Structure 1
C-alpha cells in the first residue's frame, strides 16, 4: 500500500528547494517598480529597461530547456548548490552595478538560480511524494510560481522605500546563503545519474528561436508591426524552431521530447498553462508601472496594491489543490478561468481611469482565478503523462511558462507604449496603451475556454 505521508527529511528538502525557487522568482519581478527610476537615472527607455525582467525570464527559459538533461547528468545536491551560487554571484554584481548594462549582466547570471531551482523543485516533489498527495504538493509548488512574481513588486517597492533599488539585491543575499546551508544536507538522490551527452546543436536552435522572437517583439515599440526587425525576428525564430523539430526527429537525445505533444490532454493543457503565465507576468509588469505613470503613485504603493491579492491567493492555494484531489480538475479550472476572465474584462472596461483601490480589488479576483486554474492545469496535464516522461513534460511546462512570461512582459510593454501623438500627455497615452494590453489579456482568457473544452472532451477520467 502506498504511504500517505512524506518523510521528515524529504519535507526539509522540498522546503529548501521551494524557498530557493521562491527567492529566484521573487526577484524576477521585484525590479518592475524601479523602472521609472532606472529610466531617469540610467537614461534608458521603457522598451530597454524592461529587459531587466525580460532578459531574466528568457535566460530562465533557456536553462529550463536543459532541465531534463541536468536531471540525468547531475545530482540534486549539485544542482541545488549551483543554483545558489549563481544567485549569490548575480546578486553581488547587481548590487554593485555602476550602469544599466552591468546591472543587466548581474540579472542574467542571477536568473540561473530560478532556471535550476524551479524544475528541481517539481522533480523532487514528483519523485518523493505519494500520488494521493501529489495534488496538494503540486498545488504548493504552483503557489511558488504564482505568488512569488506577484509579490515581487511589493518587495521591490518596500526596498526602494527603505533605501533604493540596490537593497533588492543586498536583502536577498543573506537569505540565499542561509537556504544553501539549510538545504544542502537534506537533498537526496532518488534516481541514478548517468553520463549522457548534451546536444549543443538542438540547444543553439532553440536559443536562436527564443532570442529572435523576443528581439522581434521588442522592436514593436520603435519599429512597428510591418518593420523588418519585427518580421525578420519572427521569420528567423519560426525557422529555427522548424529546424529544431527536424533535428529532434532524427535524434535519440531530444532536449524537449516532442512526442509528448501527441497526448491532446497534455498539449491543450500546456497551451492554456502558458497563456495563464503570459498574462500573470505581463500584468505584474503592467499594473505597478500603470500606477506610477498614470495614477501618480509611489513605487511602494505600486507594489503594495498587489499584496492583498497575493496574500489571499497564498491562503487559498492548498484549497485549490484539495479541490482537484477531491472533485477532479474540471471544477477548479473552469471556476478559476471564469474569475480570471471577469477581472480581465474589468481591467479592460475601466482601463483608462483605474485607481489604486480599483486595481487592488480587481487584482484580488484576477489572482484567485488565475491561481486556481494555473496550478490545477499543470497537475492535470502531468497526471496524464507516463511516469517515464514526467521529467520531460516538466521541462516543457517550465520552459514554456518562462518564455511565455518574458513574452508577456515584452508584448504588454509594447502595447503600453504604442499610443503616441494626438496631443496626449505621457500619462494619458500610457493609459490608452494599457487598455489595449488589458484587452489582450481578456481575449486570451476567452481563448483558454476553448483549450479547456478540448482537454475535458478527451479526458476519459477527470482525476
Structure 2
C-alpha cells in the first residue's frame, strides 16, 4: 500500500459537518449487543451438555470456535475496511450476528448451535475494528478520549451484567432465551444504523493478496486454537502442539510477507511508531492479567464458596458496573490531562488488587471479593482506553484500519494465551497440593477445596508478576501526536 497516497485521499474526505452523536450511538448499540452475547453463553454450558448429550470437551467448542473465528477474521478487517464502506461493514456485521443468533435460538442439535455461534463470531469480528476505526476518523485527537471512553463503558458493561442476566434467564426460563432476548436488540441496532450511520472512510481498494490471507489464517488461527485447546486438554495432546507449531510458522511467514509485498493486508509499519508498539505490548500484558480474574473468580465463587451461577454473577457485577461508569470519566480526564496521570495510578491499582488476590482463602466473604474486584476494575478503566487512544493517536490516518486490526488481533491472542496459562497453572497447583494430602487417592471434600484454592493462589501469584511488568512498561508511556498534527504545528 502507498501510505502517502492513502493519506492524500483520506484528507479529501470532509467530516466537519457530520453528526457524531447518531454515529456513536449506532456503534455503541451494536457493540453492546455483540459483547453482551459473548458473555452470556458460558454459564449455560451445564444445561447445554444435558440438552444435547455432549461432553465438556465438545461443549467447549462453542467458546473455542468463537475465539478462533474472531482471531482469524480480525487481521483481515484492515483490508476489508479499504474495500467496503463503514455502513456496508457495520450493517453486514450486525446482519450476520442477527442470523447467527436466530440459528442458535432455534438450534435442534449441537452442530446447528455451533454453526450459529460461528456466524455470530463473524459478525463480532467484523464489527469491533470498524467501531474503533470510525471513532478515530470522526473525532480529532483532543476529543477521542471521551469517545473511546463511551466505547469502554459498553465493552465493560456487557460482561458486567452478562453472567447475572444469563443466570436469571436460565433459572426462570431456559438457555434458548439467552438468544431470544438478544434478537430484538440486534434488530434494533440494524434499523438504527441503517437510518443514522454514515460513511466516514475513503476506499482505496488495494490489491488482495490471497497468500497473506492464507498465512494469516494459519498463523493467528493456529495460535488461538492451540492455546485455547491446551487449557482444556493440556499440552501433551498432538493436535495442540501441532497447531502451535503451524501457528508460529504461519505467523513468521505472514510477517515476512507483509514486509515484502507492495500492498500488505496488515501494514506492520504501524510498529515503527514507538508509542504504538509500547502500548501494544502493554495491552498484551494487561489482557493476560485481566483474564486471571475473569477466569478464576467465577470458579472460586462457585467451586469454593459454593455460590450458584446467578449469585456468582451478582458478586462480579459491581466491579464491572464501576468499570463501565469509570470508562467515560477516564476518557474525559485523558482529553484534559493526557495518559500518564491515568495509566500509572491505574496500573498501581491493578498491581495492588492482584497482590490482594494472592492471599485468597476459602474463608473470604462476598464483600471481600467485591471490594478487591472493584479495585482491579477501577485500575483497568484508568489504563485500557487511555493507553489504546494514546497508541492510535500517534498513527497517520492511512494506518488507522491497520492499527485497530493489529491491536484487536493481538488482544484475542493474549486472551487465548491468558486462558491457557492461568488454567494450566491453577490445575498444576491443585494437583501438587492433592499429592501432599493424607490420602491422595481419595481426598476429602475439604482437601479438594483447599487444593483448588492453592492452585488459584499460584495463578494469582503469576498474575502479580505479570502486572508488575505492566507497571514498568506504563512508566514509559507519554502523550503522542499524529504526523499530520506535527506537520500542522510545524507550519
Same structural fold, with TM-score higher than 0.5 when normalized by the shorter chain: yes
Distance 2:146 2:252 in 1: 38
The equivalent of 1:443 in structure 2 is 465
Farther-moved stretch of structure 1 (367-376 vs 116-125): 116-125
Farther-moved stretch of structure 1 (48-57 vs 250-259): 48-57
Are the aligned partners of 1:149 and 1:284 in contact in 2 as well (CA < 8 Å)?
Answer: no
**Displacement, 1:223?**
5.7
Distance 2:235 2:329 in 1: 43
Distance 2:157 2:314 in 1: 13
- Map residues 224-303 of structure 1 onto 2, 5 A cutoff: 224-225=234-235, 228-281=238-291, 283-303=293-313
The equivalent of 1:123 in structure 2 is 133
Distance 2:64 2:327 in 1: 27
Q: Point out the structure with max Rg over C-alpha.
A: 2
The equivalent of 1:83 in structure 2 is 93
Equivalent of residue 31 in structure 2, options 9, 21, 37? 21
Equivalent of residue 475 in structure 2, options 437, 440, 453? 453
The equivalent of 1:151 in structure 2 is 161
**Displacement, 1:450?**
2.6
C-alpha distance 209-456 of structure 1, shift in aligned 2 (>3 A): same
C-alpha distance 330-351 of structure 1, shift in aligned 2 (>3 A): farther
SS at match of 1:385: coil
C-alpha distance 347-390 of structure 1, shift in aligned 2 (>3 A): same
Distance 2:191 2:163 in 1: 27
C-alpha distance 431-29 of structure 1, shift in aligned 2 (>3 A): farther
**Displacement, 1:281?**
4.5
C-alpha distance 50-373 of structure 1, shift in aligned 2 (>3 A): farther
For the pair 1:311 / 2:321, whether they are aligned, the reply is yes
The equivalent of 2:456 in structure 1 is 434
Distance 1:48 1:443 in 2: 33
For the pair 1:184 / 2:194, whether they are aligned, the reply is yes
**Displacement, 1:282?**
5.1
C-alpha distance 255-450 of structure 1, shift in aligned 2 (>3 A): farther
C-alpha distance 49-293 of structure 1, shift in aligned 2 (>3 A): farther
**Displacement, 1:318?**
1.9
Are the aligned partners of 1:39 and 1:46 in contact in 2 as well (CA < 8 Å)?
Answer: yes
Farther-moved stretch of structure 1 (327-336 vs 57-66): 57-66
SS at match of 2:208: coil
Distance 1:43 1:295 in 2: 28
Are the aligned partners of 2:231 and 2:420 in contact in 1 as well (CA < 8 Å)?
Answer: no
TM-score, normalising length from structure 2? 0.85
The equivalent of 1:174 in structure 2 is 184
For the pair 1:399 / 2:409, whether they are aligned, the reply is yes
Distance 2:461 2:48 in 1: 28
Are the aligned partners of 1:20 and 1:113 in contact in 2 as well (CA < 8 Å)?
Answer: no
- Map residues 31-430 of structure 1 onto 2, 5 A cutoff: 31-39=41-49, 41-42=51-52, 46=56, 48-221=58-231, 224-225=234-235, 228-281=238-291, 283-350=293-360, 352-418=362-428, 419-420=430-431, 422=440, 423-424=442-443, 425=445, 427-430=449-452
Distance 1:8 1:193 in 2: 18
Farther-moved stretch of structure 1 (385-394 vs 70-79): 385-394
The one-character-per-residue Cα deviations of 1:390-428 (angstroms, maximum 9, x if unpaired) are 221111111122232233334434444443453445655
Are the aligned partners of 2:350 and 2:375 in contact in 1 as well (CA < 8 Å)?
Answer: yes
**Displacement, 1:356?**
3.2
Are the aligned partners of 1:416 and 1:430 in contact in 2 as well (CA < 8 Å)?
Answer: yes
**Displacement, 1:347?**
1.8
Distance 1:159 1:81 in 2: 28
Cα RMSD after superposing both structures = 2.8
SS at match of 1:254: coil
Are the aligned partners of 1:58 and 1:403 in contact in 2 as well (CA < 8 Å)?
Answer: no
Distance 1:35 1:165 in 2: 9
The one-character-per-residue Cα deviations of 1:276-302 (angstroms, maximum 9, x if unpaired) are 223334532332233222222111112
Are the aligned partners of 1:336 and 1:373 in contact in 2 as well (CA < 8 Å)?
Answer: yes
The one-character-per-residue Cα deviations of 1:157-204 (angstroms, maximum 9, x if unpaired) are 222233122211000001110111112121212233244333232122
C-alpha distance 179-458 of structure 1, shift in aligned 2 (>3 A): closer
**Displacement, 1:149?**
2.8
TM-score, normalising length from structure 1? 0.89
The equivalent of 2:3 in structure 1 is none
Task: In structure 2, list runs of 5 or more residues that go unmatched.
Answer: 1-14, 435-439, 487-491
The one-character-per-residue Cα deviations of 1:252-310 (angstroms, maximum 9, x if unpaired) are 22222112112221111011112222333453233223322222211111211121112
